[in-house]
Structures are given as C-alpha cells and as structure tokens.
Amino acid sequence: MGSIGAVRRPNTTRGAFAGPRTALFAIALILAIRARTQAPFALRDGDRIVFYGDDITAVQFFDNPLEPRLYPSFVETYAITRFPHAHFDFVNSAWAGDRVSGGAGGTIDIRLQRDVIAYKPTVVTVMLGMNDGEMSPYHTDRFNKFASGFEHILSTLRSNLPEARVTAIKPSPYDEVTQQPDVADGGYNRVLMQYGTFIHQTAEREGLTIADLNTTLVAVLEKATAIDPATARKIIPDRIHPSAAGHLILAEDLLKAWNAPALVSAVRIDESRQPFIHTGNTTVRDLKIALALSWTQTDNALPFPIDMADPVVGLVVSCSDLVPALDQQTLQVNGLVADRYELRIDNDTIGVFTREQLREGINLALLDTPMKKQAIRVFDLVRARNNVHFGRWKRVQFAIADDSLPHKQEALDALEALEQDLLTEVRLAAEPKPHRFLLVPQ
C-alpha cells in the first residue's frame, strides 16, 4: 500500500454526500466548541514518543503489504498533519515476537535500555500480550508471568524516565468473529481481554493513560461480518496481524485515548447574509460572489489521508466512527441559486454537488483534494523515515555486533543524519498552504 489517501471521485448523487438531515457543518461547529472545552491533545510540542511492543506495533521493513503494521505511522501522520507547527519526534522500538520478557532483540532490560530509555522519550506507549498468551487457553502461570513482567516494564520506565507519560495499551484482538475460535475454553481473544483487564487496573493504579485496542476492532469485525463476510475476513486476515484497515481502527483508539480532535477545518458561507462567513481552524479571505463563488482558504491542519478506494478500508470506515471522530473538514454554503455546482480547488475539479448537498455540508476530508494529496505526501515521508530508522537500528546497530569495525559508527551516524533530514522534510511537507476555491453553477 503506497499511501492511505488516494480516493475515488465523488458520486454526485444526493445520497452520496448529503447524509442525514443534520448538517455536517453543525457537527463541525459542535466539534470546534468541544475542542475548546475538552482535555487537550495528550502530545505536546517537543515531545519524543517511543512505541514499544510486539508484532502488531513493529515496523515492517519496506512495508510488506501482507503485514503493514501501520498504526504507529497512522498516529504519527495524524499528529503531524493536525498540528503542523508542533515538533513531534516518533520512534518505533517494537520488535516482532516480543513478550514482556523480551525476545529476539534481547532481554527486556536490554531492550528497554537500548531501544527506549536511550532515546530519552517524553511519551512511551507499551502494548504486549499477543505472544505472551502463546495462542493457548488461559493458564495461571502464563498470566502471572505476564503480569509480573508488565509491572517490571513499568517500574523500569518509572525509575529511568520519571517524567515520561506512559500509555498502557490493552492488546489488539485475535479474530474469532470472522472465523470460528480455534483455541479451547472460550477462545484466545478471551485470554487477551483478561490480560487487558490487568493492564487497565494496573494503569489506573499507576495513573497512566489507558488505550483499549481490542474492543472497538471486535465491534467493527462484528458489524462488517454482518454486511460483507468475505471482505470482513480481510480486516485481520491471519487472525493476529491486522491489515491496513484494521490498523486504522487501532490508530483511532490510541488517538482517542490521547483526546485527539476531530476537526480539520470548517467553513460556512451564507450568501444571503451580506455575506456571512464562519470559520473553524482556518482562514478565509478574498471572497468574491458573482455568478460563481470564489475564495482563498488556508487551513491550519490537513485531513487524515484515508484510502476510501480500498474496499476493506471502506467497509471498516462504514462500520466505525473513524471519520466523524477524527476527520472532519467541512464546507457549507447557503443561499445558492443554481441546482448544481462544480467545486474546483486550485483549478482541480473535486466534484459536482447539488445545492442541497452544499447547504447541508460536504466533508472535504473524504475527497481527492490538494489538501488530501499533501497529507499523502506527509504519510509517504513518515514511512520512508521509519524504514531508515528500522535499517539503522536492526540492520546495523543490532545485526553487526562488533563495535570495533572502523566504519560501523560512521554508518550509524550517517543513517541518523538521514533520519533527521527526512524528519525535516516531513515537517516542511505538513506546513499549511493557501488554496483557491471556486464554486461554478452547472
């Protein structure tokens, strides 16, 4: 999957975008008001965030399309595009196969020191459990080993990173919805949920942020199976590792735990009121009203680049609140005279919409706009940087154990510099840009 944002041209029938009679813009205004009153986004300018975990979190080198393991990249892309002026630095230190005791990358103490503490993060996420339960029925000894190991991780982080904000993540599901359970005594996801209950209780006691990456995805699987069983089975094709569509829901759940805002931007133009313009998280200037309407708009954020052309993603979106919860970029125009209008942005035709659709509001985040293309570019750069990080860490730092080799450190330094170059490019690519909007009667 090259990006998460290439979308189809909009269907211009009324039902495609008008939605329920409740206007999208009214929703956007509510979201804007809530954004002022709800708890602030958990990440702060200057934060360095380390993702720690197992297969589900680990970077897949060059992005094996069968196992994208993308939710950290989705979260990073959201944060950078929604808050383009904040300087976030994300590091993925997950290792496939890991347990609370460590794994192929070393014991847990080696892993934590080398792959987490050494980065001096201000935020750490921890998701483990999928491998600890051994895809077997619940066993007290295995659970106790997991519990003591998880507490050891938290204790080590607390001792070495006393100021770090830790998010404890309840493990993602083992799919027993689209396929019959293959583990006795109630199935394997039941085991993961028991582990998740322990994580929740421990995190509450320690005052940590808690993210549940199991419950929502199971609900999505249930809804999707009722609609399209064959496509639903592709959400977690091997029961364990979610597809890109599944990772979108994992990202949503983590972002919700961090109080992520839904609003990208909101614009309401009322041509019948002199005219009246109301905006949220954007600036509108040079409004001209004649036969056509035109204005220049500079949003303070970019949309979340969701690939609605992917049928699995489309099914997941339809079975979740991903778009209303995280991706609202609304445009509403009242007082129009013609029956239909073509929307152009920077001379690109975005779609043709009825007067009723524009009065009720359209969500630009779902359309193939210049803003969406810019967000896709950010996502592609995020993935490129993650691949460089993976190569430096696993292919050089870890794989070449002999530190006496004369050029090893030189190679590490060069790759670290390349990582920083790409981070600079990511931030530049996310900077807001002005766009010229034009509504032409048809």
Tens digits of residue pLDDT in 313-340: 999 999 999 999 999 999 999 999 999 9
CA distance 428 to 168: 31
Distances (CA, A) of 189 to 125, 210, 217, 227, 239: 21, 19, 12, 22, 10
Mean pLDDT, the chain, as a whole number?
A: 91
Helices and strands counted in the chain (H then E): 14, 16
Tell me how far CA of residue 140 lies from CA of 71, 154, 169, 195, in angstroms. 31, 21, 21, 11
Determine the pLDDT at residue 275. 74
Give DSSP secondary structure letters for 270-316. Answer: ETTSSSEEEEESEEEEEEEESSSEEEEEEESS------TTSHHHHHH
Q: Is 2 helix (H, G, I), strand (E, B) or coil?
A: coil
Q: For strand 293-299 and strand 348-354, is the pairing parallel, antiparallel, or unpaired?
A: unpaired
- Residues 258-288 pLDDT 10s: 999 999 999 999 987 677 899 999 999 999 9
Predicted local confidence at residue 20, as pLDDT: 37
Pairing of strands 165-170, 209-212: parallel
For residues 296 and 286, the answer to whether their CB atoms sit within 8 Å is yes
What distance in Å separates the CA atoms of residue 243 and residue 236, rounded to the nearest whole number? 6
- Sorted by where each starts, the structural domains of the chain and their CATH numbers stand as 1-38+262-442 (no CATH), 41-260 (3.40.50.1110)
Which of 11, 83, 57, 69 lies closest to 263 in space, CA to CA?
83
Query: Alpha-carbon distance 165 to 100, whole Å?
Result: 19
pLDDT value for 325: 98
Asked if residue 36 has pLDDT above 70, the reply is no
pLDDT for 305:
95
Q: Is the pLDDT of residue 8 over 50?
A: no
Residue with tokens 């609370």: 100
- Looking up tokens 């530049």 gives 428
Q: pLDDT-based confidence at 143, cuts 50/70/90? A: very high
Distance from the first to the final alpha carbon of the chain: 36
Confidence class of residue 344 from pLDDT cuts 50, 70 and 90? Answer: very high
User: What is the three-class DSSP state of 97?
Assistant: coil
Q: Report pLDDT for 22.
A: 42
Percentage of the chain beyond pLDDT 70 is: 89
Q: Which residues of 412-425 are buried (b: 16+ CB within 10 A; e: fewer)?
A: beebeebbeebbeb
Segment holding 124, helix H or strand E: strand 123-127
